[in-house]
Structure 1
Amino acid sequence: MKSFLHCIALLILSFSNGLAQDIVDSKQREIVITNVNVVPMDSERILEKQTVIIKDGKISAIGTKLKYTKAALVIDAKGKYLIPGLAEMHAHVPPIDDIEPMKEVLMLFAANGITTIRGMLGHPKHLELRSKIQQGEILGPHLYTTGPSFNGMSVTSPEAGAEMVRKQKAAGYDYLKLHPGLTREKFDAIAAAAHKEGIPFVGHVSFGVGVWRAIDAGYSSIDHLDGFIEGLIPEIKTMNEQQTGLFGMFGADKIDTTLIPKLMAGLKEKNIWVVPTQSLAERWFAADFTPEVFLADPDILYMKPETVNQWIESKKNLMKNPEYNAATIENFVKLRRKLIYQCQQNGVKILLGCDAPQVFNVPGFSTHNELQYLVKSGLTPYEALRTGTVHVAAYLNKPNAGIIQQGAVADVVLITGNPLKDISQTKNVEGVVLAGKWLSKEYISAALKKLEKTK
């Protein structure tokens, strides 16, 4: 009887563990992917019908005739493609004291092959989360995090801003996140303290600071192309922030295009990286991406109904703004595409990031949308992929990341088709290796099913 009850207990435990049984850790068992077409990202090429061996969290070998242990997990990937894990460099992890909701967001990213994220609205709990991910206690993308926001409300004086810098550096945050509302005096104090403490600052460019001062001050990355359009308007000193709108959306018709080369030269000279978040402009701001279009998007399943409703109201409120004009916004979106293309053409390094969760941007899924918008802006699929792989590795100073080669970190994504021909193929995830752990398609499907919020 005891033996029978013991068996029943083990059976119940196996069901309660559920998804965890489908994860294979390369530290315990070799992972071998055979017959796969490798997109190594060291150049624009494909290595056909390769075998990739993953052991102890690293890619231990790539070739056509390789030996591996009998106990290895062998994945036949005939006809499929293997790319490096992607990065989302403008992500949001819930800034709350409860780690459980954070895990849900992390899984949405991981399920989509996003193996690195940069959290852009920090919270003290994120430091604990980062540690638990690094120690393998929580499954999730490699996490880099900013501290809490520097903005017009949180920074009460230049001295207070400098003190915030020192405290966030001491706490162990990776970056400082700047938001709108900073005066020139407050910004200058923050920038000076950040350089002294050796912590990079990233994010928005306040209207009172402007992109030219931002470039001179040495941002690590400017996100959203914030301040770019305002900096191209000759009469900007006669305008206020309400007239230009968020990210300059109401000012696109007022720019001087002859200033674009100067902008590109400044960004390149100061080695300032750019995170476009074009998905926001294409989905939140553009008139043709209506709430009805979003409601028909299958990605909506993973957002709470109240969040979806908030996003819809945000879109409606934007379109009610007296300054909003569909034709003007269309020009704004096209101008942003042009600026993205000019960054690519002029050697200004682009990092992949869409800003999610944010209006009409669902974590993980929207990163793939961002890749498509980069291609729509004029980048080739290979150039777009670089923004989320090798560029991120260079930005983070991780030479063994963002690439598929012997000795590289085992963050890879198995997809159905060739992304160098069709960038939308990155969405067709067949499996993910995250920090040397294999997440099968079955595991991913079951995990996503558990995360469904909207029916």
Structure 2
Amino acid sequence: MPGSYAPAPGRGLDLLVASTSSVGAVSNSHQPFTITGVRVFGGGGPLPGVTHVRVSDGRVAGAGDASVARPGDALVDGSGATLLPGLVDAHVHLLPGCTQLAAGFGVTTVLDMFSKPETIVPERAAVAASEAGRGPVRADLRTSGVGATAPGGHPTVAYAHFPYVTGPRDAASFVADRVAEGATHLKVIYDDGSGAMLDLPALDVRTIEALVSAAHGKGLPVVAHASTSAGAVTVARCGVDVLAHVPFDRMTDGQVRDVARCGVAVITTLGVLDGFPGRDGVMPLLGRPRLAGRLGARWRRVVERQATRWMPPEPPDGAAQRYNTVALLESGLRVLAGTDVPNPGLVFGASLHRELWHLVEAGLTPAEALTAATSAPAGVFGLADRGEIAVGRRADLVLVDGDPAADITATERIRDVWVLGRRVDHGAYTGGEAEREGVRWQRESAERIVRAIAETWPGLPGPEEVRREDGEILGRVVPTSGGWQAVTVFGAPLGSAGGHDEAVAVLHARGLACLAEPWWARAGDEPAWRRARIVEAAPGRVRLRWDDPLADQPSSGRWFGLDDLDLSLDPPEG
């Protein structure tokens, strides 16, 4: 039951480190260092009087005043800044390289809530190498492995070919298999699709109870996905420990009391609203300069393109989730910050800062929001070595300018991040192979989901190929938030979105002709646009030759994938 996974008792204020740190970054994990003159948020609140934190051998070795420093320590100036425990994202789904990306934004632990072994195993190996001091610094990782769902149930559309649970008799073996694969908690899905006006197979109550019993017998907490208020009550009564989402419909007072009586914790995932662009057409994450500025160009392109995908006419406003979050917190339940990344509009690490903002917008104090991303998830998931700044705890630390306990957006002003005392070099991820692989995985996953949705619900609009009478492909028409968009064979948009027939006509008129026109292109992280000619085109990539005669390039041009390129037929503004 939830009480079995309560946080470890506090170590006392004298063991806690609070400090405001700054430049002078330390990269040698073997050399002890002390962060000086810093404001400290310890995990449960600010720590008055703590101005210095000492780190040695990957652990917090001292916290207090200037006397904690030792001769030979490297000194990190924390003036004007706040030191936080490393942030915990309590709800992610893995993709390659995600732990490296998350660490660059101060998220030093990620709790995976459904991934398959082919993604988990290499990522976990990379984390182990990082903790041994090899390779780039990464966030730590805990995983449920494959979640328990009914045959064909949610989220089959996203994760084909995984083991299902057909009834109570499967519970013990399913849990045993997850434990053998290294699961640290169990994910259970209870969702019949009614919250989204769908009809999906779902586990029954007896099966969920059997899964909970089997998981608790192995010492695993149980996280339950339930999207509706009624579903949340059902799984809470089954004895689960954590709700994976705040319900999407407004809870009644009775439902809040029922869930509170069961003592579960609740992962918020309010930031799924960031999957919908604002009135200016900009995705919310990209509207935060300090977060967007830490994104590489590849991830920026991913999020920008998600702004034009097909969406329902009326996006959710999140009012019910915000109400439920505060009601559940006020009922005494522990609230945990989680993002559900990599859903549309969300990026590992960056989106947890947006989740904190959403929590404060819902009505939490900044200190309550910070606790939801530090000591609260560490306590609920039995991670006694992190979540607070205390002697002996992991030196997973985030140094930010300003005071996030007064202004939650200060968490976006990241100066430095350490995982087990090793400083994170965020620039090592941007432009590298880990970023490239992660973006490719995300794109291919999204394409697979779109195909599966089209097969499952043929009435929903989906991309369509457009061919000439002789069979040569001209491009595709794609449903977007603004209507049907004509897209070239290599994936660049032509014209503006409008009606279906209009988009088809654009492809017949320009689908091949545009290949001979001059294009404007911006490659990689380059800030400048340059004029170029398309030498050759293929699905998802083009070979370009720059018009600039002084450009260093092969005579036949160079291939670029669309993940590495912005393209426009019109001269970009500015």
| 2:268 paired residue number | 276
| 1:417 paired residue number | 402
Q: Determine what percentage of the aligned residue pairs are the same residue.
A: 24
Partner secondary structure for residue 63 of structure 2: strand
Unaligned stretches of 5+ in structure 2?
1-24, 153-162, 192-200, 436-524, 526-562, 567-574
Cα deviation for residue 131 of structure 1 reads 5.2
Does residue 338 in structure 1 map to residue 340 in structure 2?
Answer: no
1:130 to 117, 124, 132: 124
8 Å Cα contact 2:221-2:381 kept in structure 1: no
Tell me the TM-score normalised to structure 2 length. 0.60
Cα deviation for residue 69 of structure 1 reads 5.0
8 Å Cα contact 1:182-1:209 kept in structure 2: no
8 Å Cα contact 2:356-2:370 kept in structure 1: yes
CA 1:302–1:385 in 2, change beyond 3 Å: closer, same or farther? Answer: farther
1:29 to 28, 31, 34: 31
Unaligned stretches of 5+ in structure 1?
1-21, 95-101, 229-246, 320-324
Distance 2:301 2:177 in 1: 35
1:263 to 255, 269, 294: 255
Partner secondary structure for residue 387 of structure 2: coil
Cα deviation for residue 157 of structure 1 reads 1.7
Cα deviation for residue 348 of structure 1 reads 0.8
Does residue 202 in structure 1 map to residue 223 in structure 2?
Answer: yes
Q: How does 1:349-388 map to 2 (within 5 A)?
A: 349-388=334-373
Which range is displaced more, 82-91 or 123-132?
123-132
Q: How does 1:84-99 map to 2 (within 5 A)?
A: 84-94=85-95
| 1:157 paired residue number | 166
Cα deviation for residue 166 of structure 1 reads 2.3
Distance 1:289 1:413 in 2: 33
> Amino acid of the residue matched to residue 146 of structure 1?
S
8 Å Cα contact 1:183-1:208 kept in structure 2: no
| 1:148 paired residue number | 146
Distance 2:171 2:335 in 1: 28
| 2:461 paired residue number | none
Partner secondary structure for residue 41 of structure 1: coil
| CA deviations over 1:130-183 (Å, ceiling 9, x no partner) | 355245245311211011132332526214455322211232211222334423
1:311 to 296, 306, 312: 306
Does residue 172 in structure 1 map to residue 174 in structure 2?
Answer: no
Distance 2:421 2:299 in 1: 31
Q: Higher strand fraction: Structure 1 or Structure 2? A: 2
Cα deviation for residue 115 of structure 1 reads 0.8
Cα deviation for residue 93 of structure 1 reads 1.2
Q: Higher helix fraction: Structure 1 or Structure 2? A: 1
| 1:79 paired residue number | 80
Distance 2:141 2:63 in 1: 27
Distance 2:344 2:322 in 1: 19
Distance 1:339 1:359 in 2: 23
Cα deviation for residue 186 of structure 1 reads 4.3
Partner secondary structure for residue 318 of structure 1: coil
CA 1:383–1:156 in 2, change beyond 3 Å: closer, same or farther? Answer: closer
Distance 1:57 1:127 in 2: 24
| 2:469 paired residue number | none
| 1:16 paired residue number | none
- Greater RCO, CA 8 A, separation 6+: 1
CA 1:107–1:389 in 2, change beyond 3 Å: closer, same or farther? Answer: same
8 Å Cα contact 2:283-2:307 kept in structure 1: no
Distance 1:342 1:444 in 2: 37
User: Higher Cα Rg: structure 1 or 2?
Assistant: 2
8 Å Cα contact 2:282-2:304 kept in structure 1: no
8 Å Cα contact 1:87-1:389 kept in structure 2: yes
CA 1:222–1:67 in 2, change beyond 3 Å: closer, same or farther? Answer: closer
Partner secondary structure for residue 146 of structure 2: coil
2:236 to 208, 215, 219: 215
| 1:444 paired residue number | 426
Cα deviation for residue 80 of structure 1 reads 1.5
Which range is displaced more, 356-365 or 368-377?
356-365
| CA deviations over 1:27-62 (Å, ceiling 9, x no partner) | x211121122222234344446x2221001111112
